[in-house]
Amino acid sequence: MAQVEEGSNNGEGPTPSKKMKMDADTPSAITEVLKKCDDYRLFQLIKFYWDRLEQAMEGGVEGLSLMLKDSDNFSGQEYQKITELAEKKNKADSSKLLLNLVMEKGPRARRVMWESFVKICDGLPELDKILKEIQELGSDSFDYLDKPQDISEASSQVKDVQQKHKETLRQQTEKMRVNSILLTEKVKIFQLVDHYAELSIISTPRDIQLVDHELLARSREHDVWREKHLRKEMEKIQPEQLFRSSSTETERIPGSSAAVSGVQGIGKTTMIQKIVYDWATGKIYPNIQFIFSFKFRDLNTMNCKLNLRNLVLAFYPYLCNVLGELWKNPEGLLFIFDGLDEFKDSLNFTNSQKNIEAKTMCTDPESQCEVADIVYSLIQHKLLPGCSVLVTSRPSTLQLLEKAGVSVWAEILGFVGKERKEYFNQIFEDQAVAAAVYKHVEENELLYTISYNPSYCWILGLSLGPFFTEGDGKQQQIPKNITQLYSSYFYNILKNHGKEIETPRDVFLAIGEMAFSGASGKKSVFTNEDLVKYSTQPSQFLSSFLKDFSERSDTSQSIVYTFPHLTIQDFAAALAQFLTPNPQNIGKLLSDAHSKEGGRFEMFLRFVAGLSSPQSAQPLEEFLGPFLQQTTSRVIDWVKEKVKGQLGNTKGKISKRNHMNALHYLSESQNKALAQSTVGSMETFKFCGLRLTPIDCVVLSHVIGLCNSIKHLNLENCFIQYEGIQRLGPVLHKCRELRLGRNKLEDAGVKLLSEALRNPDCKIQKLELKSNALTDACAEDLASALSTNQSLTILSLSNNKLGDAGVKLLSVALKNPECKIQTLVLKNNSLTNSCTEDLASTLSSNRSLTDLILGGNKLGDAGVKLLSGALRNPECKIQKLLLWDVGITDSCAEDLISALSVNRILTDLNLGSNSFTDRSVPAFSNLIQTCRSLKWIWLGRNRFSPSKKRHLKLLQNSRPGLSVEV
């Protein structure tokens, strides 16, 4: 750190004014100077003198911490931790911890610390020297604090400073640091350009209300989706296109804001790093003069009022001489704010009062205001109008920006297909291990499902790699579910770093308790204060296990910690429940967590259920000691209670989601006896209207596999798509009634479903496939399945686009004597008279088909006349014929009614919404009077006159049991 030398007047000693201040060297004088310092100046003073303060206060750290405790700025636990370190003759660490805690506590603690310095400085020469320097300069002469600390004076030429800025950013961003769990290499360092994985960014986020904490996996469905839609509805863009009105624009639009969303670990921060690196190396944004990149977690440490100038200088101190010039050209500035979800303050763009305050407080870069107001005003273009702003966020907080005037919205999608394999190849130097890991992931539906996310790929690599290393000999223990995967991740940490921890059980209990507390408060960023609170302290192990964010040590000494991924925090919290010596309240704790809205504890609960399984627990018990059997038993009881309590509770979406979550707990527990006692006799699973993820489908497949008497599975409108069918495929044949309507299965999904129909043990009797975007491309597979299937009697294909070609293929299968179809629903399938000849042939030969629904197709008179011929055939078994809105007129009425009169088994007839007129009334009257089997006829929305309608309606009086609707 730069130091201010005493007597800096060309070696001639202090000026008279300064001499006077030095002569007045009394505690009251320095106290007066400190009183005149605002919160931000005190904040700056600590940063400026940080290194010297660490050494200067070593001799008085116990007294300082006591003063901070007595003033209620330190807790008793924090005071004890500092004094323990000092008593162990580790005063350097104790003073460092004290400074960190003071910076975290905020303005009041900082002021008390400086006031305490004045009281104890007599016995601490170095501290006394620092106070004299501050007193000498006075409260009005702190310009030196803003001066560059690595060069004597910043150049007055913006161009020169810009080059220094670019070089600084290049050095900061050219490398990637990734935590490892290996003993020999705790942090892996890569060149950004070598390790950066290209991720797809689309110009419209798919679901702004997306819940982050369901692992959000899409995998193979994600692959199919991207290939199809990136070329159509959603535009794929590159990061350099974020500030253009479209990807085809070549010029950047000044004064615009962009928001990029993505689930945790998808690569938002890495994308920002690449943007900054590419700008610094001259590859993108040529019209941008300066980029200022901030992480919200760093802004959390700025807990005092300041202006935009000071905010920028806190991170880029060498810009102090040019900022005034930069403010004059805001069109050349880009502000980046990364991780809105980690910001401790709120940005509420819908609050009118907040809007008024921001307008008055933050329109000038020199005005003092809160950090949140500065960010708010930049995004709103109230501060430096014309500058560009980029914000990244997880989807759960992206909605905060909905009314912020953001001009460009984008979402990072993650890996697809071969991109996963390429990433594994980057993780492992041994390509044979990379190939083996990828093969295992690809073959395991659950693991493949989460691997679209780069951070999950990293966890998969670290967890699975050791199993495929030559000589490890643990092939039989390879993780197959989520809890086992994370158990393996923690096992490898303990295996490689266990010697660094004196009492691993106590350490992991403390970390887990901190993790659970964070989850309860929606907190993922922790400080030294948190570590002290949970009876642990910074160490080499913790810095490798937790992510230690202290990269900007030259400008911000406040260190913060976070788990490598939110799910790792959840696993640590779950693990702590099995390590605690007092598990009496575990049932209440789980129930309370389960009752929280928003699904924040969902992964925690799944991990707790999973850790009750010996397969997941035993590897960890090797290092942490045995889990309490009492805890395991209570967890199993809780899972059993939840599963049984949710069975059949399907009245609303919340109930259905709770039901599905309970099945997740059951699946993670890997407890077959528990499964058999809870779901073994289940006959119905009903999740209609609930959006199911691919992981949900994996779990449901597992559970159905354990059911002995499953009959009904209702997944209508669950958006399971191709991948859901892929996951469920192995067990669908066990169901008797299968409702899969409105799931966007498309042709590829029905081809998979056809495999279940061909299963010799298939029990499916009713299959509902309406509104699935099916075309004739799937008809051949479906027809093949119908030709051999011996169970299916009801098939609904309404609201698809099978077309004439598709129905012709199905007709071939329906003619097969082995086909058992009794009801066929083909309404709204883009059919014309071209397919009716094939249908007619089917009706003449099929011995089982009794109900035929063809409404909403344009069959026309010609088509219905062909069907009429088949209806005359004595072998025709049709009892229900629905032909509403098929485009028929009076010209076919006589043929149709004549044919139906011959048919003596017809019970239901729908000819509504056609173009019949009074001319056809005699024919219909005859049908009603002569067809003795007819129970219901609907003729509404035709062109009958009121008198003819009354006539037809009255005819039902002569036929008991007949209903005529006109």
Closest CA to 260 of 243, 281, 284: 243
d(CA 364, CA 835): 73
Does this model's pTM top 0.85? My answer is no
pLDDT(6) > 90: no
d(CA 275, CA 292): 12
Closest CA to 85 of 96, 101, 69: 96
Among 22-31, 148-157, 697-706, 738-747, top mean pLDDT goes to 738-747
pLDDT(888) > 80: yes
The stretch 475-488 carries a mean pLDDT of 82
d(CA 222, CA 200): 12
Of 117-121, 264-268, 611-615, 638-642, the range with the lowest mean pLDDT is: 264-268
The stretch 210-223 carries a mean pLDDT of 41
Which is more confident, 361 or 428? 428
d(CA 746, CA 771): 9
The stretch 301-318 carries a mean pLDDT of 88
Query: What single letter denotes the amino acid at residue 461?
Result: G
- Name residues whose C-beta falls within 8 Å of residue 39's C-beta, 6 or more positions apart in sequence: 107, 110, 111, 304, 305
Predicted local distance difference test score (pLDDT) of residue 792: 97
Angle made by CA atoms 658, 659, 663, in degrees to the nearest 5? 110
Of the pLDDT bands very low, low, confident and very high (cuts 50, 70, 90), residue 202 is: low
Predicted local distance difference test score (pLDDT) of residue 425: 86
Sheet containing strand 908-910, strands side by side: 684-686, 712-714, 737-739, 766-768, 794-796, 823-825, 851-853, 880-882, 908-910, 936-938, 963-965
Question: Can you spell out the DSSP letters for 856-918?
Answer: TSB-HHHHHHHHHHHHTSTT----EEE-TTS--BHHHHHHHHHHHHH-S---EEE--SSB-BG
The strand ranges marked E within 262-407 are 290-295, 333-338, 388-393
Which is more confident, 52 or 964? 964
**Dihedral, 529, 534, 536, 538 alpha carbons, nearest 10:** -30
- Paired tokens of 345: 């303050």
pLDDT(570) > 60: yes
d(CA 257, CA 408): 7
Query: What single letter denotes the amino acid at residue 469?
Result: T
Of the pLDDT bands very low, low, confident and very high (cuts 50, 70, 90), residue 947 is: very high
d(CA 343, CA 346): 7
| b (16+ CB within 10 A) / e for 708-719 | eebeebbbbbbe
C-beta of residue 30 within 8 angstroms of C-beta of residue 22: no
Angle made by CA atoms 269, 273, 276, in degrees to the nearest 5? 135
C-beta of residue 405 within 8 angstroms of C-beta of residue 380: yes
What sign does the dihedral 863-866-871-877 (CA atoms) show?
negative
The number of helices, as runs of H, and strands, as runs of E, in the chain is 44, 23
- Name residues whose C-beta falls within 8 Å of residue 504's C-beta, 6 or more positions apart in sequence: 494, 498, 623, 624
- Paired tokens of 33: 């100077």
pLDDT(210) > 50: no
Instruction: Please provide the size of the chain in residues.
Output: 966
Of 214-223, 446-455, 677-686, 719-728, the range with the lowest mean pLDDT is: 214-223
Predicted local distance difference test score (pLDDT) of residue 17: 35
Query: If 0-12 CB within 10 Å is exposed, 13-18 middle and 19+ buried, where does residue 729 land?
Result: middle
| b (16+ CB within 10 A) / e for 781-811 | bbbbbbbebebbbbbbbbbbebbbebbbbbb
Q: What is the CA radius of gyration of the chain?
A: 36
Predicted local distance difference test score (pLDDT) of residue 221: 46
Among 181-190, 227-236, 770-779, top mean pLDDT goes to 770-779
d(CA 436, CA 497): 25
Predicted local distance difference test score (pLDDT) of residue 856: 97
**Residue with structure tokens 């995998």?**
219
**Residue with structure tokens 């799910």?**
567
Question: Can you spell out the DSSP letters for 220-252?
Answer: HHHHHHHHHHTTTTS-EE-GGGTTSSSTT--S-
Predicted local distance difference test score (pLDDT) of residue 554: 41
- Paired tokens of 57: 């206060």
Which pLDDT tens digit goes with each residue over 327-362? 988 999 999 999 998 888 877 666 544 444 444 458
Q: Hey, is 951 helix, strand or coil? A: helix
d(CA 491, CA 230): 40
Which is more confident, 146 or 657? 657
Predicted local distance difference test score (pLDDT) of residue 104: 83
d(CA 305, CA 394): 27
Of 423-427, 530-534, 927-931, the range with the lowest mean pLDDT is: 423-427
* Bridge partners for 625 per DSSP: none
- Name residues whose C-beta falls within 8 Å of residue 966's C-beta, 6 or more positions apart in sequence: 939, 940, 942, 944, 949, 952, 953
- Paired tokens of 224: 């199919």
What sign does the dihedral 605-610-612-618 (CA atoms) show?
negative
**Dihedral, 190, 195, 200, 204 alpha carbons, nearest 10:** 10
C-beta of residue 646 within 8 angstroms of C-beta of residue 658: yes
- Paired tokens of 598: 């928003």
The percent of residues in the chain predicted with pLDDT above 70, rounded, is 84
CA atoms within 13 A on the CB side of 356: 3
- Paired tokens of 155: 């150049």
d(CA 825, CA 496): 62
φ/ψ (deg, to 5) at 389: -135, 135
Q: Cα 930 vs. chain centroid, distance in angstroms?
A: 64
The stretch 613-630 carries a mean pLDDT of 93
Average pLDDT value for the chain: 83
The stretch 91-120 carries a mean pLDDT of 88
Cα–Cα distances (Å) from 326 to 384, 385, 390, in that order, read 10, 13, 18
Strands 388-393 and 257-261: parallel
Question: Can you spell out the DSSP letters for 271-301?
Answer: HHHHHHHHHHTTSS-TT--EEEEEEHHHHTT
d(CA 215, CA 159): 46
d(CA 262, CA 398): 9
Which pLDDT tens digit goes with each residue over 572-606? 999 999 999 887 789 899 999 998 877 789 999 99
Which pLDDT tens digit goes with each residue over 525-567? 888 888 888 888 766 677 667 776 544 334 445 677 888 788 8
d(CA 920, CA 675): 62
Of 163-172, 423-432, 537-546, 954-963, the range with the lowest mean pLDDT is: 537-546
d(CA 373, CA 362): 7
Cα–Cα distances (Å) from 61 to 88, 123, 429, 579, 601, in that order, read 13, 12, 48, 35, 40
Closest CA to 726 of 263, 226, 224: 224
d(CA 242, CA 252): 9
- Paired tokens of 102: 């003071």
C-beta of residue 314 within 8 angstroms of C-beta of residue 555: yes
Closest CA to 927 of 887, 959, 950: 959
pLDDT(10) > 70: no
Closest CA to 365 of 306, 304, 283: 306
